[in-house]
Amino acid sequence: MIINRRNFLFQMTVVTAGVAVGFGGLQRRAQAFTADATLAAMRADGFGELFPTATQNTGETFLALPKGFHYKVLGKSDSLMSDGNKTPAFHDGMACFTVGNELRLIRNHEVSNDEVPKAASAIGVNPYDAKAAGGTTTLVINPKTREVVKDFVSLSGTLRNCAGGKTPWGSWISCEETTLGQGICAKETGEKIGGYPKSHGYCFEVFASANGTVEPLPLKAMGRFKHEAVAVDKHTGTLYLTEDAKTAGFYRFIPQRKQHLADGGELQMLKIKGKGAFDFRKGLKVGQRFETTWVTIYNPDPLTADFDEAAVYKQGLAQGGATFSRLEGAYADNRGRIYFVSTDGGDLQGGQIWRYERKGKKDGVLTLVFESPSRTVLDMPDNICLKPNSELLFICEDSDYKSAGGTPENYLRILAPNGKIADFAKNITTGFENSEFAGSTFSEDGKTLFVNLQAVGATFAIWGDWDSFKDHTMRETNADI
């Protein structure tokens, strides 16, 4: 996701062909909706009505929250960090780690350089490309005060770091959402872009334990495309990757050695059995299941990506790989099932949530677990995360697309296990009301939710009575799944 561009039912029980695939509320809800139920019937009370709320540390008002919830603002753009650098802009994907007695946030910065190289633009030392201004920052947080202890650049010289993913071995995979490189090409307007010293479109690994800028090693075997998010199956060590393009693939990377991504591995793209080059962008029903397999991408780092951002996708498509629209957020549950978001998928282009479940080494099952029935219910979901020891799925909205039928507001929504949507937070920042939520991530104890407002350039720590959620018609925790 980039500014101004371009339900999950965690655990719904949908029964198809006699097989339970998780979250019964979804099918019942879909049936109720087709029976002319009102949209209001699809709303959950959640934590209650939202009210404008000031931060506890600065007194500024950015968010509307339920009563009983509080927040602090951290790491604002242009603020001076502990390493002497200014905090970069465009806060995006993020993950929270526990390192010793500290919480550590690794946060992406989706800086695009206007798609042209700029001298001395790297945000910190040891850059991958000195003419690229993206990267990551690390915030060390006191878990009791929820205040920043120190902050610093942890990855420098990358480009348009959008989303990524947390690994079970204590690192953040930061992804570049561009394939610009040394080649110079032109937009439809004639504007020239590219010409960087280094190729872009890669994933980079940043360990939470690092206390400075890491060695920027592009993980080229994981593919060169418009990367968005990563989710890791902790049981197999396989990484699943999303692609943010109007014609996108869903990929997996099987490392040669678990936890050693730099050693290489095999990149594959999802394919539906018996349905060559199937298109998932519209015309589907919630609860549909598809038997899947994978095709190998034999050239994951094509030179032609400088000029063709779909160069990897086309390799998979030629072998019958499946097509999605704008795949963004991804999340792995404790069973290794992978949930991922199509931001503008579905008949109304309001968003889809998919779930992939492996069945053996190559086979799997893909299920459409949610599709937005109205932009007022859910509008263009992006980053997703599950609250620890909970059945609540938190969804960031990126709905600044009024010209494409979107709503003008951005919410942080919750999908409950009964199939209803609740509002948890609304962006009410004066002058930045259209700024998307991004980077939602919980502390591992579930006490604090961290989230960004991208254009505002701010990170928030939110806490309150997490046990007060209403509309629980099923009780099943993440620890059980």
434 phi, psi to nearest 5 deg: -90, 0
Q: Angle at Cα 123 formed by Cα 119 and Cα 126, nearest 5°?
A: 85
pLDDT value at position 5? 34
Q: What does the pLDDT read at residue 77?
A: 98
Q: Is the dihedral of CA 209, 212, 217, 221 positive or negative?
A: positive
Read off the CATH number of the domain in which 315 is found: 2.120.10.30
Tell me what pLDDT residue 320 has. 98
Contact 76, 87 (CB under 8 A): yes
Give the separation between CA 420 and CA 26, rounded to whole angstroms.
8
Q: Give yes or no for residue 331 having a pLDDT over 90.
A: yes
In a domain, 103, yes or no: yes
The total number of structural domains in the chain stands at 1
Please report the pLDDT score of residue 399 as a whole number.
83
pLDDT at residue 42, as a whole number: 76
Let me know if residue 129 belongs to a domain.
yes
Query: Nearest CA to 238 among 145, 155, 168, 292?
Result: 168
Asked if 42 contacts 420 with a C-beta cutoff of 8 angstroms, the reply is yes
Distance CA 447, CA 62 (A): 21
Over the stretch 134-193, which tens digit does the pLDDT of each residue have? 999 999 999 999 999 999 999 999 999 999 999 999 999 999 999 999 999 998 899 999
The average confidence (pLDDT) of the chain is 90
Is 6 a domain residue? no
Examine residue 352 and state whether it is found in any structural domain, yes or no: yes
Are 263 and 256 in contact by the 8 Å Cβ rule? The answer is yes
Check: CB of residue 230 under 8 Å from CB of residue 238. no
Domain for residue 5, yes or no? Answer: no
- In this predicted structure, what is the pLDDT of residue 405? 74
Average pLDDT over every residue of 39-60: 92
Looking at the predicted structure, is the pLDDT value of residue 419 above 80? no
Label residue 460 exposed, middle or buried (CB < 10 Å: 0-12, 13-18, 19+): buried
Q: Which domain holds residue 130?
A: 15-480
Instruction: Please state the φ and ψ torsions of residue 359, each to the nearest 5 degrees.
Output: -135, 85
Q: Give, in order, the Cα–Cα distances in Å from 353 to each of 84, 256, 282.
A: 41, 30, 13
Is residue 98 one of the residues assigned to a domain? yes
Percent over 90 (pLDDT), the chain? 79
Residues 433-450: what's their mean pLDDT?
Answer: 96
Q: Mind listing the pLDDT tens digit for each residue in 85-127?
A: 999 999 999 999 999 999 999 999 999 999 999 999 999 999 9
Token couple for 290: 């598809």
β-strand partners of 50: 66
* Between residues 10 and 361, the one the model is more confident about: 361
Higher pLDDT, 12 or 342: 342
- Distances in Å between the Cα of 152 and the Cα atoms of 83, 214, 343, 423, 479 are 5, 11, 31, 33, 33
Q: Is residue 155 part of a domain?
A: yes
pLDDT of residue 21: 35
